[in-house]
Every structure is written in structure tokens, then in C-alpha cells.
């Protein structure tokens, strides 16, 4: 493999990405598209492509031209946008080839649920320590009406168990900036950027620098307690906004920890991890719109995880989220159901999921009002 090419430092990358307008609430795939343009401007070696989904994954480099035979109209051998076609496995292997050669920093995009089509290529990138990036959008049951075939409840966790693969699921535009910075800066392995289809709240109550730098560390204190600490709520991605809202209702003894990347957090030193998750506080709740199992290493057997441990169903995304208890209200309910103080050896039940019997029927979901889709813009219905 050729010598790795120099790139901008993390400080230069952060300085070159403007702070996002805090009044704008957009999907992280959209803020990802915005951040990508700044990354491409600062890092000329950065190239990207999509498995025939540029309109949805939004990772097209504006002004970057399309790679291809110059005898074909609109194509250029200097193009930075690759049209891989509907073939994720081939895309993954081509990204590996580019990374092996070492001239470019390659990335490719598809829907998260289709990542399994290129799992073997991702595994090889992790094994060979290749600095590839995967932009994986439509990240949860929040996809909505496309239904369970396109709702990747298990896929994020499935990627997290691949050794040497960093999986970053950012919560808002500033965490997205940190995620792209991390992916470009990493030289010894691949990074998966897991982004939402639905709009999320820009978390302006958390300082910009904290969100960006915290994402680089993998996990950080997003909202600090103002009283003696009693409860820690962990979240990532689109669920961080609900954790913040719940903490405000639960009061000053609650801390919110954002955990966008398990792998980067686990690489921090013991002192930092203990500062974020002090061992003396065992009353913990984690929330993510995906399978729950991997979160127990952070909440412990005394903690609870609000997750999605079954396939979803077709309905507007926020209706599906509510059916699984992925909201601030359910976090508050779970927190209030836990003992005020957990003693060593005192176990609590771990199940926090509503039963499948409580999910809306097809008749219920067919009569939902248009108001339930208010979090999606017109173009979000792709």
C-alpha cells in the first residue's frame, strides 16, 4: 500500500465547517450532505459515490463531476462522484481497491438496511485496516411507511460487532460534523456514518464544541446534572433529543450522555470513561431505535434499555417510534419506575418494550392524520 496522503488536521477541519443554524431542524442525512461539501473542499482526495441512491443518501459532491469515460457525456476521469449502480457489494469492494491504492479517501452510500449486501467487503476493510467510509442513511424504524423491509432495527448493532469498524450514529448537525471529521481523519480502519431520514432537533442547549469534540471521543456528557447525580440517560442518534427532553422533566439529578460511537468511546482511557459514566451511579437508562442488547455493557444488569427488539411496521415514522416507546415520555415513565437508589446486588427487571399487542393495527394506522407526518418534508418521502 502506498504511503498515506496528508489531510487537514482535525482542528482545520472543524474550523472549516461553519456552525449549523440552530433554528434549522433537519435530518442528519441532510446535515451530512451539507458537511460533506465542506469536507470535499478542504480534502481534495475525498471521493464519494452511491449505489444508485444519490437523491436519497444526499452525498453528491457538488461541482465534483462524475467519474467515468470522458467519451460519455457528463463523465470525467477526474470526477469525484461515483455511480456504483444497485450493487452494494461491488461498491464496497471498489472502495477497498481505492483505499488499497492510497491515492484517495473513498466513501460510498446506501440505505443502512442494505449494508448487509456489502458486509463481506466492510469486514475485509476492517481486517485490512483500510480507511474507507460508508454513509448509511434511513437508519431506523423512523423510515416509516416503507415498512419493516426497510427499517433496519438490527443493522447498526450488526455493524458494531465487526472488529475495527467505527460506527458513528450522530444526533444533530454538530455531531454530524464531528462524525465526518472522524471518518476523514482515521487512517487504520473503516468508519460507518449512520444517518437519519427524519428531521431531528438541533441541540443548541449543548455547546457546539462539546458536540463535535464529544463525537470524536465517541461519548460525552451532553447535559450535566446540577444536583447530586442519581440517574444517567444514554442515547445516540435521533434519540438524543428525547433523552435531553426527558432529563429536563426529571430534574437536576439527571445526566445525559451522548454515545454516538461505542468503539471510539471504548478506546478512551479509563479515567475519561469513569468521568462520563461513574461506577457509583448504577441507575441508568439507554435509548436507541434499534435492538437493545449491546447497550447493557454501559447500563449494566441493573439498568434498563428502551429499544426495538422486533421488526417494525408500516406507518408514519413518528407513529412507529411512539408505538415502541421511543420518546421522552417513555423515558420519564421508565425512570420513575426504577428504585430511587439501587444498592449493590439489587437487580431490576430489564424489559422496557411495549408488547407487540400494543402496536397499532393496520386499521388504526390507515386513518392517521396528515399531522403525524409533520416531521418530514416533501423530499423526505423518498
Q: Is the pLDDT of residue 350 over 60?
A: no
Residue 41: Cβ-neighbour burial (10 angstroms; 0-12, 13-18, 19+): middle
Average pLDDT of the residues in 355-371: 44
Average pLDDT over residues 366-377: 41
**54: which residues sit within 8 A by CB, 6+ positions away?**
60, 81, 83, 109
Residue 344: the pLDDT is 43
| pLDDT tier for residue 6 given thresholds of 50, 70 and 90 | low
Which amino acids are annotated catalytic? 88
Residue 45: all three cell numbers together: 482526495
Domains and CATH numbers, the chain: 10-194 (3.40.50.970), 208-381 (3.40.50.920)
**For residue 175, what pLDDT is reported?**
98
pLDDT tens track for 164-198: 999 999 999 999 999 999 999 999 999 999 999 99
- Compute the average pLDDT of residues 11-34: 96
> What is the per-residue pLDDT across 98-123, written as a single tens digit (0 to 9) for each?
999 999 999 999 999 999 999 999 99
CA distance 319 to 301: 30
Q: Is the pLDDT of residue 373 over 80?
A: no
pLDDT tens digits for 135-152? 999 999 999 999 999 999
Q: Is the pLDDT of residue 379 over 60?
A: no
Identify the CA nearest to 203 among candidates 169, 233, 235, 241: 241
Instruction: Tell me, rounded to whole angstroms, the distance of Cα 52 from its chain centroid.
Output: 21
Amino acid at each position: 500500500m502506498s504511503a498515506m496522503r496528508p489531510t487537514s488536521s482535525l482542528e482545520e477541519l472543524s474550523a472549516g465547517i461553519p456552525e449549523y443554524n440552530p433554528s434549522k431542524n433537519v435530518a442528519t442525512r441532510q446535515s451530512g450532505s451539507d458537511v460533506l461539501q465542506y469536507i470535499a473542499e478542504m480534502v481534495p482526495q475525498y471521493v464519494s459515490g452511491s449505489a444508485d441512491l444519490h437523491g436519497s443518501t444526499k452525498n453528491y459532491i457538488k461541482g465534483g463531476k462524475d467519474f467515468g469515460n470522458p467519451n460519455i457525456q457528463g463523465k470525467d476521469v477526474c470526477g469525484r462522484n461515483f455511480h456504483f449502480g444497485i450493487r452494494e457489494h461491488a461498491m464496497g469492494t471498489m472502495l477497498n481497491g481505492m483505499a488499497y491504492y492510497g491515492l484517495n479517501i473513498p466513501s460510498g452510500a446506501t440505505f443502512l438496511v442494505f449494508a448487509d449486501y456489502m458486509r463481506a467487503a466492510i469486514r475485509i476493510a476492517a481486517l485490512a485496516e483500510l480507511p474507507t467510509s460508508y454513509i448509511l442513511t434511513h437508519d431506523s424504524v423512523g423510515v416509516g411507511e416503507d415498512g419493516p423491509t426497510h427499517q433496519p432495527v438490527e443493522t447498526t448493532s450488526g455493524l458494531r460487532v465487526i472488529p475495527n469498524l467505527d460506527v458513528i450514529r450522530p444526533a444533530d448537525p454538530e455531531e454530524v460534523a464531528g462524525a465526518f471529521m472522524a471518518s476523514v481523519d482515521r487512517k487504520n480502519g473503516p468508519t460507518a456514518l449512520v444517518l437519519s431520514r427524519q428531521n431531528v432537533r438541533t441541540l443548541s442547549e449543548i455547546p457546539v464544541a462539546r458536540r463535535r469534540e464529544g463525537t470524536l471521543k465517541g461519548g460525552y456528557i451532553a447535559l450535566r446534572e446540577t444536583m447530586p447525580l442519581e440517574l444517567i440517560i444514554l442515547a445516540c442518534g435521533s434519540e438524543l433529543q428525547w433523552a435531553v427532553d426527558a432529563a429536563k422533566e426529571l430534574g437536576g439529578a439527571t445526566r445525559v450522555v451522548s454515545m454516538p460511537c461505542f468503539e471510539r468511546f471504548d478506546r478512551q482511557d479509563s479515567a475519561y470513561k469513569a468521568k462520563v459514566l461513574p461506577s457509583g451511579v448504577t441507575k441508568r437508562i439507554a435509548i436507541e431505535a434499534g435492538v437493545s442488547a449491546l447497550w447493557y455493557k454501559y447500563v449494566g444488569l441493573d439498568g434498563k434499555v428502551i429499544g426495538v427488539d422486533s421488526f417494525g411496521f408500516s406507518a408514519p415514522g413518528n407513529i412507529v417510534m411512539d408505538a415502541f416507546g421511543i420518546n421522552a415520555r417513555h423515558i420519564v415513565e421508565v425512570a420513575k419506575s426504577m428504585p430511587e437508589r439501587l444498592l449493590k446486588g439489587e437487580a431490576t427487571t430489564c424489559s422496557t418494550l411495549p408488547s407487540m399487542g400494543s402496536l397499532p393495527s393496520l386499521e388504526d394506522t390507515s386513518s392517521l392524520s396528515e399531522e403525524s407526518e409533520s416531521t418530514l418534508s416533501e423530499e423526505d418521502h423518498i
